[in-house]
Amino acid sequence: MSAGRSREADLALARAAALGDREAFEEVVQRHGPVMLRYARRVLRDRGDAEEAVQDALVAAWRTMERYRGDSALRTWLLGLTSHKALDVARRRRPQPVDDEVLAATPADDRSDPWAATSGSELAAALQEALLALPYGQRAAWVLVELEGMTQQEAADIMSTTPDSVRGNLYRARRRLEERMARWRP
């Protein structure tokens, strides 16, 4: 399906969902839920927190679907909700000390996530660690632009900021990642 047809289909689904059509909303969740979760997992440090943020975003989407006017892609609007909910979750959470034994005893089951499937390698693990060390705004901008393939304008819309702010966050994120990943360069 072309981008234009997909956008028209999303708009039709959003309008139907705004009128209370649960099946239309389920289709919205099927289409866009995976990217919402992938984004939330990359900007938050915990899968449970990511799932909570996505769930909160989907509840907000269901309640406010009539506000979606189609000015931007539905995916952009949903990722904006996800970004706000992820930030809310990150603000609520305080780091909890974790016993090393607990970490060793709970293997991650990430077979459904291509990113996690490759994270067994040292390089992917190092990149994940470097990403998590970035401040939230830099990490969110980098994930949206570099991993999700969004434009700086789309990332700005999602993050409720300006393209210049996204550009600055990207610049700082790239510099920090370059420094942290220097040992992996040939």
Percent of the chain clearing pLDDT 90 (strictly above): 56
Q: What is the model's pTM?
A: 0.68
Compute CA distances 166 → 79, 132, 152, whole Å: 15, 18, 6
Q: What angle do CA 30, 7, 168 make, to 5 degrees?
A: 90
Give the single-character DSSP code of 19. Answer: T
For residue 105, give every residue at least 6 positions away whose Cβ sits within 8 Å of its Cβ, in sequence order, or none. Answer: none
pLDDT at 185: 76
Of residues 91 and 31, the one with the higher pLDDT is 31
pLDDT single digits (tens) 98-129: 444 434 444 444 445 555 554 447 777 888 88
> Which runs of consecutive H residues, i.e. helices, occur in 44-135?
47-64, 74-92, 100-105, 114-118, 122-133
pLDDT single digits (tens) 152-174: 999 999 999 999 999 999 999 99
Which domains does the chain carry? 1-93 (1.10.1740.10), 120-186 (1.10.10.10)
